[in-house]
Structure 1
Amino acid sequence: MFTESQFTVIVGAGPTGLTLARQLDRHGVPYRIVEKSAKPFDGSRGKGLQPRTLEVLDDLGLIERFLAAGGDYPELLAHLPNGGTHRFRLDEQHAPTPSVPWPNMLMLPQWRTSELLADGIPVEFGVGLTGFTPIDGGVRVTLDSGEIVDARWLVGADGGRSTVRKLAGIGFEGETHEQERLFIADVRLTGLDRDHWHVWPGEGRAFRLGLCPLPGDGWFQLTAPPSDLSPAELVAAVDPSITVTEVGWTSEFRANMRMASRFRDGHVFLAGDAAHVHSPAGGQGLNTGVQDAYNLGWKIATGDSAVLDTYQEERLPVAASVLGISTRLHRRHAEGADDAMRRDDPVLRQLSLHYRGATLSAEHRPRPGGVRAGDRAPDAPLRDGRIFDRLRGPHATLLAFDWSTPLPELTVPVHHVTEAAPIYGVDRPTLLLVRPDNHVGCATHDAADVVAYLRRFRL
């Protein structure tokens, strides 16, 4: 008979798996995280962290380290075939507001994101999964070392070619456009300023070469259509005065847009690229994976199978929506649209993603305010800090607006935050119970609803 421990095996130590490990760690859930590669990933790949992901990093206590390591997206400088130049931005810079402290995407190469997330996490490199079988109350995992591990939960965060997904027999539906490919490389070079993201258009609306300066120690991310030329030859072809001095990670992206048919199969879960793969257009893939893990971690900690069912209920529609957005952006690139590089759609910042109407979203008010059950809990200034200061940590939190009636004894911290009422759209005594992933779970004018919610969902 399997024990009641929530012991979890995480397969894959990219940003998704590492975020999940951090979530489990702070909830006190035992886990192992294994990574088939012998060493950490060393490429730039997904280099943009969206505003909602920055809020997740704040809750995990990492935001200052990420802000110090990353930087703003630079202005693009197009080197035109006629010798002229044209400057433009993917999106305008947005000023922080009381409810959105980090309104802009942060540029940070993926290897650095993983490094910061991995600090203090006991990743087992060079260890892969070869099989698993259901057992009473859990799953028996076989590692490629021959070791057999019994776990309550198995999470596949092992990328688009996920072994966990394949062994679980979960379909991966969508399409691959073999003819739509992009060469990517990390390069060092001389003869080019680092103040701009340099692009060289080709004939008509074709794309020829891009060189984006990465925060840190002098690397650029090179992007170009596939060819037989080396990175140095690609650069020399557009400007012989630029010299490539070093080539690091290289890869060839192919247009692959797919999503798993389900995110849970008994005691097995999928997250990140194992569950959904996106075009890099719009910087959505890595961010969606991090938020998958942020959603799943606290639910594993409850040990409640009904709560864990809500992982798929909440995240699968979000992934489908995000996949649609990134696919539309990709199509604009492929078709050479004039505005193909614009990234000014507010949806891309992922602050508006919500779980309204889902099982864990209990909206009891006859006239809901602007922030409803299922929504992200926005920040707001308080007399002695900020809302995010109150929410930070693995616990659920009760926000009491203009509440003077004595509350029953509760299992969560209570904060009276009347001054935040305008941002939350609250105009009468109201209780908002915020889940551990900082989405509003219960919104009510009756404390009995909060008590019932906490009991039902083991918070």
Structure 2
Amino acid sequence: MSMKPQTDVLIIGAGPTGLVLALWLHHQGVKVHIVDQANAPANKSRAIVVHARIVELYRQLGISEDLLALGYKLPATNVWVDGQHKANIPIASSGRELTPYPFMFSVPQDEHEKMLEKRLLGVGVQVQRGTKLQGFVDHGSNITATLFHEGDETSTTHEASFIVGCDGAHSAVRHTIGAKYEGDTYKPLFYIADIEGEAEKLFNGEAHLILTNRSYFNLIVPYNTSGHARLVGITTLNNDMNPNADSPDHDNKITFEDVRPQILDTVPIKLNKVNWFSTYRSHHRIADKFRSGRAFLVGDAAHIHSPVGGQGMNTGIMDSINLAWKLATVLKQTQMSDEAKHQLLESYESERRAFALKILQTTDTGFTTLTSQGVLGYILRNWLIPLGFPLAMKFEFARKRIFQGVSQLICSYRGSSLSQPDAGVVQSGDRLPWVRIGEEDNFSTLCDLCWQVHVYGEPGPQLGQWAQKAGAKLFTFPWNDQYAEAGLIQNAVYLLRPDQYIAGIFEGLSVESRLDEYLLARGLC
């Protein structure tokens, strides 16, 4: 066994989570090797909704504009109940005071992945395809993985400092570390189709939620304004009268023609082309651990959600960005003690599992209620969604809270070992509030993937010297009342992590010594 691993981080799986992890690690000088079992990039659109927090984070590596060029900003969502139009909910700028990207955005996952992989190839990292993980051994100081290459049916070993499973719901990494995948499978059988068609009211460039009193629903999410859309729904072909309803073989044999009558019964459209069609069972599961020694789980390998709100892929990408800076720190800062490295890496699981569990519970409640055959489901489908939701969106507080939740801006790591305890509207562990003053905004500095210090007002005389010594970048912003409206404190020092979350808020005298205490307590200096 060689003394020096071939790779710093071996990534299993080249979906969005694996590609993002590879890009963020490489950007920080980490040597990566990424493999995927598929022989070619995916050619199905699959997950299509990308939320504002992801676009914000993509700005770090200058790829937000590349992503935005691929997709479509959804202007509104419509709600239909048993063929009757009940509501039109504008969403084009529903987060306008909260983020530079105040919209919901649709982009086919295959196009999204191609963009990420092209960027990765541009920096000299190529996905090794047709390669799957057979297993690995954690030696304590490094791991040795056995990789099977389907092209020539040979196996090789690969040594790395760490291994990360971005390999989906059937993760080989998760099986190897013995993590339980706790949860359940929803009974309804979903169909999903990439379609092109015509319908004056339904193919108008807006999203449409089509509900029925039979606990079924259809969702139309447009890719553009010319009739190209994603259609998702629950098929009636797996009801209790069918003895084979719950068998995988039964699911796999269902074709688009089988569900066409049901679709046209509830969705009056003229279908011109079906680009692809599939059925699937939705799950809600979460691994009981996201880390074991030098192995980590990210994305669907760690958690899988109901389709409500399009949260799954977005949550996985945020996993990757959270983990990337922590792995890079451990690998690059050789002066860190083993205990400090362990605590930093442990914070990945504590932060991301807590958030994933919250998302899982929220989406599970929403989906279960949406498809319920009881009184609550009837009230939700007939009254709360078509009447209550549009009304709530007219109130600023409600609109902001809804957008923050759906877009994952609400993600916070308060209480984390990396968050300095404090109080206030904005606290350590929170995402830094976005504030725009004229043509400038305070997120423009966040393009650098590094520790930063922000001061809204006047910095202390020694702060610049401290920042230079600590290797952090200092940015000051002339005070404006809009910062106070966002919850920021005049002249306070905001220490920001590389993933743009607030590590600590420091006020008053001796700020520099308390900043030192923060870093020393966590072995970061």
Structures share fold, TM-score greater than 0.5:
yes
Q: Is the 8 A contact 2:144 2:159 kept in 1?
A: yes
1:214 aligns with 2:226: no
1:157 aligns with 2:219: no
Q: Which amino acid aligns with 1:139?
A: I
1:246 aligns with 2:274: yes
Structure 1's 242 and 398: CA in aligned 2 closer, same or farther, altered over 3 A? same
Q: Which amino acid aligns with 1:392?
A: C
Structure 1's 381 and 33: CA in aligned 2 closer, same or farther, altered over 3 A? same
Q: Is the 8 A contact 2:76 2:92 kept in 1?
A: no
CA offsets, 1:315-344, max 9 Å, x none?
111111111111111112211432458696
Partner of 2:429: 374
Return 5+ residue gaps in structure 2 as ranges: 121-125, 150-154, 238-253, 331-340, 391-398
Partner of 2:506: 444
- More divergent stretch after superposition (376-385 vs 105-114): 376-385
Q: Is the 8 A contact 2:91 2:104 kept in 1?
A: no
% identical equivalent positions: 27
Offset of residue 52 of structure 1: 1.5
Q: Which amino acid aligns with 1:270?
A: L
Mapping of 1:19-418 within 5 angstroms?
19-76=20-77, 85-89=85-89, 93-94=93-94, 96-97=96-97, 99-121=98-120, 122-145=126-149, 146-177=155-186, 179-190=187-198, 193-198=203-208, 201-202=211-212, 204-207=213-216, 209-215=218-224, 219-226=228-235, 227=237, 228=254, 230-231=256-257, 233-234=260-261, 235-236=263-264, 242-248=270-276, 250-303=277-330, 304-335=341-372, 336=377, 337-338=380-381, 339=384, 345=402, 346-363=404-421, 368-381=423-436, 385-401=440-456, 402-407=458-463, 408=466, 409-418=469-478
* 1:152 partner SS: strand
CA offsets, 1:51-77, max 9 Å, x none?
222211222311222222222225445
Q: Is the 8 A contact 2:72 2:106 kept in 1?
A: yes
- More divergent stretch after superposition (410-419 vs 382-391): 382-391
Partner of 2:518: 453
Q: Is the 8 A contact 1:75 1:87 kept in 2?
A: no
* 1:373 partner SS: coil
Q: Is the 8 A contact 2:11 2:163 kept in 1?
A: yes
Runs of 4+ in 1 over 6 A off after TM superposition: none
* 1:7 partner SS: strand
- More divergent stretch after superposition (214-223 vs 41-50): 214-223
Q: Is the 8 A contact 1:382 1:419 kept in 2?
A: no
Return 5+ residue gaps in structure 1 as ranges: none
Q: Is the 8 A contact 1:75 1:196 kept in 2?
A: yes
CA offsets, 1:57-103, max 9 Å, x none?
22231122222222222544566656x54443386841522x52222
Q: Is the 8 A contact 2:215 2:370 kept in 1?
A: no
Q: Is the 8 A contact 1:369 1:426 kept in 2?
A: no
CA offsets, 1:225-276, max 9 Å, x none?
334562583455557871332332x332323111000110000000111100
* 2:470 partner SS: coil
Structure 1's 181 and 29: CA in aligned 2 closer, same or farther, altered over 3 A? same
CA offsets, 1:189-208, max 9 Å, x none?
34563433356555x24436
Offset of residue 221 of structure 1: 1.3
The count of residues paired between Structure 1 and Structure 2 equals 451
- Per the normalisation by structure 1, the TM-score is 0.89
Partner of 2:334: none
Q: Which amino acid aligns with 2:35?
A: V
Distance in structure 2 (CA, Å) of the matches to 1:85 and 1:59: 41
Q: Is the 8 A contact 1:198 1:210 kept in 2?
A: yes
CA offsets, 1:388-446, max 9 Å, x none?
11121221111134223223333111112242642563445321110000001122131
Q: Which amino acid aligns with 1:410?
A: A
Q: Is the 8 A contact 2:220 2:229 kept in 1?
A: yes
Q: Which amino acid aligns with 1:154?
A: I
Q: Is the 8 A contact 1:54 1:63 kept in 2?
A: yes
Distance in structure 1 (CA, Å) of the matches to 2:308 and 2:57: 22
Q: Is the 8 A contact 1:282 1:329 kept in 2?
A: no
Distance in structure 1 (CA, Å) of the matches to 2:321 and 2:129: 23
Structure 1's 73 and 384: CA in aligned 2 closer, same or farther, altered over 3 A? closer
* 2:346 partner SS: helix
